[in-house]
A and B are shown apart, each in its own frame.
Chain A
């Protein structure tokens, strides 16, 4: 799950929001000064993101075979992808993942943020930092670590089974593997989301609390009527990040695969499927097609999440 390299698609409303501001005449002219500032970012952006995307789109219209070479095939790859059961199975899996894991993670993070903000907690700043720490652990290291611990024979799970004479089922077995991956992702990102929410809580103006306590509102009432509305934008951001992260699920399953080859297939997530198609199968064109379809679907879902987030407020 990579959360950082993504952008919450909320600035469109943001920029329209900026428009009602009184503007000085010189800003209203077709002024290119802004490009001098945005230009450097956009040049590098064009090189490392736009160009590969365009190249991918180009590739998706061809088919390069080990025997027979390269040929233009139009939309054939798209047709194939849309009827590819492996692709849809992987999409289904990450959808399930995001439907279950994201609410749990965001829920825990929200609870933690509210708890730390409530001033009812002993040592709250220690909690804040400690829960945030896993975010600083590289996904590779986190997965290696959890992978070691998941071992049912000699790993931590095995130790616990032996110690308490219980039988925790194999976390990397068919039934639990998605949960096991969800656990790693949750572990990595609870702290990040908690800080996101916490930061939003910290800027609630104090006069709101004063007014509420004058009205005799209790803690839960304050949470419901003051804190939750204030948190909504942050929750939407966290949600959008998590949607994109879920659909791009890759590092955790691909590193765990060597421990659980039979439960984590080569098409476990759409991203793994695309990766394996191109890197072990040399089906670069079909892989590019899958990538584009996943990108489109992700964008649509992220857009829906953003919209439903704002509609509730309206």
Chain B
């Protein structure tokens, strides 16, 4: 954005591996401000309102996943009612249609592991390449990546579908995985992160020692990039876990559905001749869909916050 930015110039001054500094600065900053400040009740209350807003729908989801189909339609939405049917609902969700939910869960995990993992890897290679090497066409790479992402993805669905269909990829996991391998945001994040996290001096030293570029990348650079990688991984993880539109178009066999598409299909099932009305399973299934990703975020929050810090400041 600008070279005159104050943080930027300050950051430029601070040499050496940046990563450890982020965390230490963070702590220092906090305690430093903390010295002069009292806790504010009013601020806490205002933020409490925001908190309620954020959590209320999740609370609603939880409450309603404890209800039977009949209670679901005939009780106050924000409190428990009737038998506590959460376990029954979970069991029913997991066993409905010969356990197709479990299958969808497995598919989602597959798409996430290969898709998000692959996206992170490609972004790491590419971002590192952009940060640490000058090569012909570098600016073009940037312009092309930027230009292409502004086109609405949904509108590209048909051409993509027709192309994939010609290649025989539709209705296979590849149709979902291939597009999720691209994370322009991840590429950008690693790019900015790698500029400082991987000091050029270290690379020079490795070259002096006769290490190949890829060997240097895998043995040295990758470790230095770790916090940035975790951040990208988490964001691509959310993106693939929440992916809905693409699999909806590409897949016709429910055996390859991810959770989101499967849940929508269950929701639609109420409209079928002779179909079951299973809103309770839709709701419980939604809850089960959210849990793993929430857990992932909670456990890894320390990493992604510091990684994100690099990206946001650098812009």
Direct contact of A and B (CB under 8 A): yes
Is A5 part of the contact surface with B, judged by Cβ < 8 Å?
yes
State whether the Cβ of B97 lies closer than 8 Å to any Cβ in chain A: no
Contacts of B286 in A (CB 8 A): 141, 144-145
A13 to chain B: closest residue by CB: B1
Let me know if A177 is at the binding interface, CB within 8 A: no
Instruction: Assign chain B's interface to a size class.
Output: 35 or more
Asked if B202 is an interface residue, CB under 8 A from chain A, the answer is no
State whether A187 touches B290 (Cβ < 8 A).
Answer: no
Q: Are B126 and A275 in contact (CB under 8 A)?
A: no
Instruction: Indicate if the CB atoms of A120 and B40 lie closer than 8 Å.
Output: yes
Cα of A298 to Cα of B146 in the assembled complex, Å: 11
Q: Which of A51, A290, A295 contacts B150 (CB 8 A)?
A: A295
| Nearest CB of A to B73, in Å | 7
Known: A41-B187, A202-B305. A234 touches B312 (CB 8 A): yes
Contact A122 B309 (CB under 8 A): no
Select the residue from A50, A51, A136, A137 with max chain B CB neighbours within 10 A: A136
Interface string of B150-166 (1 = CB under 8 A from A): 11111111111011000
B60 part of interface (Cβ distance < 8 Å):
yes
Q: Report B-chain residues with C-beta under 8 Å of the C-beta of A28.
A: 134
Interface 1/0 per residue, A1-27 and B, CB below 8 Å: 010111111111111011000011001
Contact B263 A133 (CB under 8 A): no
A226 and B144 alpha carbons, distance in the complex (Å) = 35
In whole Å, how far is B17's beta carbon from the nearest beta carbon of chain A?
14
Which listed residue (B77, B132, B301) contacts A129, Cβ 8 A?
B301
Closest to A306 in B: B1
Smallest Cβ-Cβ distance to A43: which chain B residue: B122
Contact A11 B142 (CB under 8 A): yes
The number of residue pairs between A and B whose CB atoms lie closer than 8 Å in the complex comes to 391
A5 and B51 within 8 A (CB): no
A203 to B294, CA, bound (A): 25
Which residue from chain B places its CB closest to the CB of A273 in the assembled complex?
B155
CB of B146, distance to nearest CB on chain A (Å): 5
B219 to chain A: which residues have CB within 8 Å?
Answer: none
A288 within 8 A of B: yes
Are B122 and A40 in touch, CB under 8 angstroms? yes
State in angstroms the CA–CA spacing of A258 and B290 once bound together.
23
Q: Which A residue sits closest to B304, measured CB to CB?
A: A195
Q: Chain A's nearest CB lies how many Å from the CB of B186?
A: 8
- Indicate whether A154 reaches chain B with its CB closer than 8 angstroms: yes
Q: Does A100 contact B (CB under 8 A)?
A: no
Give the distance to chain A from B75, nearest Cβ to Cβ, in Å. 9
The reply to whether the CB of A287 lies closer than 8 angstroms to some CB of chain B is: yes
Is A196's CB within 8 Å of the partner chain B? yes
Residues in A with CB closer than 8 Å to B152 are 247-248, 250, 270-271, 274, 291, 294-295, 298
Indicate which residue in A40, A209, A230 contacts B6 across the interface (CB closer than 8 Å).
Answer: A230
Interface flags for A133-153 (1: CB within 8 Å of B; 0: not) read 111111111101110110000
Closest chain-B Cβ to A154's Cβ sits at a distance in Å of 7
Asked if B305 contacts A195 (CB within 8 A), the reply is yes
Could you tell me the distance between the alpha carbons of A290 and B154 in the complex, rounded to whole angstroms?
Answer: 11
Measured CB to CB, the closest approach of chain B to A244, in angstroms, equals: 6
Other-chain contact of B183, A5, A31, A112, A270 (Cβ < 8 Å):
A5
- Tell which of A53-61, A70-78, A81-89, A164-172 binds the partner: A53-61
Instruction: Name the residue in B54, B259, B301 with the highest tally of chain A Cβ atoms < 10 Å from its Cβ.
Output: B54
Contact of B159 among A38, A198, A288 (CB under 8 A): A288
Query: B29 contacts which of A38, A127, A209 (Cβ < 8 Å)?
Result: A209
Which residues from chain B contact A50 at a C-beta distance below 8 Å? 144, 148
Counting CB contacts under 8 A, is B272 at the interface?
no
Residues 187-229 of A, flagged 1 when their CB comes within 8 A of B and 0 if not, give: 1001100011111101111101110010000010000000001
Is the CB–CB distance between A134 and B149 below 8 Å?
no
Question: Closest residue to A296 on the B side, CB-wise?
Answer: B150
Task: Let me know if A104 is at the binding interface, CB within 8 A.
Answer: no
Residue on B nearest A142 in the bound complex, by CB: B57
> Are the C-beta atoms of B159 and A55 separated by less than 8 Å?
yes
Q: Give 28 CB contacts A-B under 8 Å.
A: A6-B149, A8-B315, A11-B188, A23-B134, A36-B213, A41-B122, A41-B126, A44-B178, A45-B144, A48-B160, A48-B182, A50-B144, A50-B148, A55-B162, A120-B40, A132-B297, A140-B263, A145-B61, A155-B77, A202-B29, A204-B29, A205-B10, A206-B25, A209-B33, A230-B7, A232-B1, A295-B151, A298-B150
A residues sitting closer than 8 Å to B (CB atoms) are: 2, 4-15, 17-18, 23-24, 27-28, 30-38, 40-42, 44-45, 47-53, 55-56, 59, 108, 112, 115-123, 127, 129-142, 144-146, 148-149, 154-156, 159, 163, 187, 190-191, 195-200, 202-206, 208-210, 213, 219, 229-230, 232-234, 236-237, 244, 247-248, 250-251, 255, 270-271, 274-275, 278-279, 284, 287-288, 290-292, 294-296, 298-299, 302, 306, 309-310, 313-314
Nearest first, the 7 A-B pairs at minimum CB distance are: A37-B129, A291-B155, A34-B133, A295-B151, A34-B135, A41-B126, A7-B184
B residues apposed to A, CB below 8 Å: 1-7, 10-11, 14, 22, 25-26, 28-30, 32-34, 36-41, 43-44, 46-47, 50-51, 53-55, 57-58, 60-61, 64, 73, 76-78, 122-123, 125-126, 128-139, 141-160, 162-163, 178-179, 181-185, 187-188, 191-192, 195, 200, 204, 213-214, 217, 235-236, 238-239, 241-242, 244-245, 259-260, 263-264, 267, 282-283, 286, 289-290, 293-294, 297-298, 301, 305-306, 308-315
